[in-house]
Amino acid sequence: MTSTAETHRAIEAVWKIESARLIAGLTRMTRDIGLAEELAQDALVAALEQWPAEGVPRNPGAWLMATAKHRAIDQFRRNERLIKKQEELGRELESKQELTMAEFDEAVEEINDDLLRLMFTACHPVLSTEARVALTLRLLGGLTTDEIARAFLVPEPTVAQRIVRAKRTLAEARVPFEVPEGPELQRRLASVLEVVYLIFNEGYSATAGDDWLRPGLCEDALRLGRVLAGLAPRESEVQGLVALMEIQASRSRARVGPNGEPVLLLEQNRARWDYLLIGRGLAALAKAEGGTQPLGPYALQAAIAACHARARTADETDWVRIVALYDALSEVSPSPIVELNRAVAVAMAFGPDAGLAIVDELMAEPTLKNYHLLPSVRGDFLFKLGRRAEAKSEFQRAAEMTRNTRERQLLLSRADACD
């Protein structure tokens, strides 16, 4: 007999897989993202109450959807203003009381459309970046408010308020539950990709706290990216983002030393890289490069990551090609951070003097005033040029700026090495 604990673990796994589809389908029916999540949560509570005694149903996703629809009908019955919606849902529930496996498979395309609509809704530009990230992890990642708060090292009430305000903003702005078309599609898609990559980056290189990596966030972003790639297979930037995340995630084990300390790219043991993820990343990059659309920022960054992935040793890295790719990236997505990264590639290809000349021009850039990697990169160039005292000062300044404990320790150790 299955124990209650085992059933609860099964419910947790089912929820992780099905919650986004469930909320997406309910949002399509109710046109209210807040109500859809409440109905999905009600279905989850019902599962926690019934499945330990009755067992996990053969098609748990269909069971949750049917239960949520029942809850929707009950709620609409209590609201006379929505009597028409009650009748529509009632007819749908009567005609499809319980989905069989075959019927559920036939509904996959509709479910996928709903997931895509939910992604575009949760990442709508009307919301702040923080709200988009929190809502996406909540609705599409299946994370609890507490899990999101712990991942980003912010108080749980702060995350809860962001989610509540986000739902209210979407309702007040009457954001349609749809996939945009025409020129609007690319603008809105950029917002979706930005949110997914922000989640990945926070896991890959934590901005604050005691950990250098937060693998859970990387996994959530990869899962969202893979889903999006399956829903929009012809969008080269979607494939490019997935390629970039797969290749970067492949280095995760090698990026951390025995005691949790950071290990920089050129010092990593490449035998510890995950070559399955690299293979998946290169395959996604090939799809991006094989499309009719010009390569965008994510695909170009993925191509840069691929140069590192293909090099068996750090010395074999094709830095000249990386410089050329950064030149292309600067054309399509110019920014001071891209220029800083280009400086690193230039220094590796043509010497630290060449890189330092670029960095010195960035020192007056207002947007990089508090960016700790600017003095860190400059310190590295100065160290290689034998200007140790200046390098030490830059490393110390970078250490004061960073909010990540592990990174601060690394920078201070580099400052000490200057002596």
Domain end position, chosen among 305, 320, 347: 305
Q: Per the domain annotation, does 90 fall within a domain?
A: yes
Total domains in the chain come to 2
Q: Per the domain annotation, does 345 fall within a domain?
A: no
pLDDT of residue 419: 87
Q: Per the domain annotation, does 311 fall within a domain?
A: no
Domain end position, chosen among 271, 305, 339: 305
**Going residue by residue through the chain (419 aa), what tens digit of pLDDT does each one get?**
467 788 888 888 888 888 888 888 888 888 888 888 888 888 888 888 888 888 888 888 889 888 888 887 776 665 554 445 555 655 555 554 444 444 444 444 555 678 888 888 999 999 999 999 999 988 888 888 888 887 777 899 999 999 999 999 999 999 988 888 888 888 889 899 999 998 998 888 877 676 777 888 898 899 889 988 988 888 999 999 999 999 999 999 999 988 888 999 999 999 999 999 999 999 999 999 997 878 999 999 999 999 999 999 999 999 999 999 999 999 999 999 999 999 999 999 999 999 999 999 999 999 999 999 999 999 999 999 999 999 999 999 999 999 889 999 999 999 999 98
Tell whether 202 and 103 lie within a shared domain: no
Is residue 417 within 8 Å of 382, Cβ to Cβ?
A: no
Ramachandran angles phi, psi of 209, nearest 5°? 100, -170
Which two structure tokens, joined as six digits, stand for 173? Answer: 């702005």
Instruction: Find, among 126, 123, 301, the residue nearest to 199 by Cα.
Output: 123
Q: Per the domain annotation, does 342 fall within a domain?
A: no
pLDDT of residue 233: 87
Q: Per the domain annotation, does 403 fall within a domain?
A: no
Which two structure tokens, joined as six digits, stand for 259? Answer: 């005691």
Q: Per the domain annotation, does 220 fall within a domain?
A: yes
Q: Which domain holds residue 284?
A: 196-305
pLDDT of residue 103: 47
Q: Per the domain annotation, does 287 fall within a domain?
A: yes
Q: How many CA atoms lie within 13 Å of 189's alpha carbon, on the beta-carbon side?
A: 23
pLDDT of residue 100: 47
pTM here is 0.78
Domain end position, chosen among 282, 305, 328: 305
Ramachandran angles phi, psi of 204, nearest 5°? -80, -35
pLDDT of residue 3: 73
Is residue 122 within 8 Å of 136, Cβ to Cβ?
A: yes
| Residues pairing with 404 in the sheet | 209
Q: Per the domain annotation, does 182 fall within a domain?
A: no
How many CB atoms lie under 10 A from the CB of residue 281?
24
Dist CA 189 CA 313 (whole Å) = 36
pLDDT of residue 106: 47
Give me Rg for the CA atoms of the chain: 24
Tell whether 100 and 2 lie within a shared domain: yes
Helix residue spans in 140-214 (DSSP H):
145-152, 156-172, 183-204
The interaxial angle of helices 33-54 and 4-30, nearest 10 deg, is 150
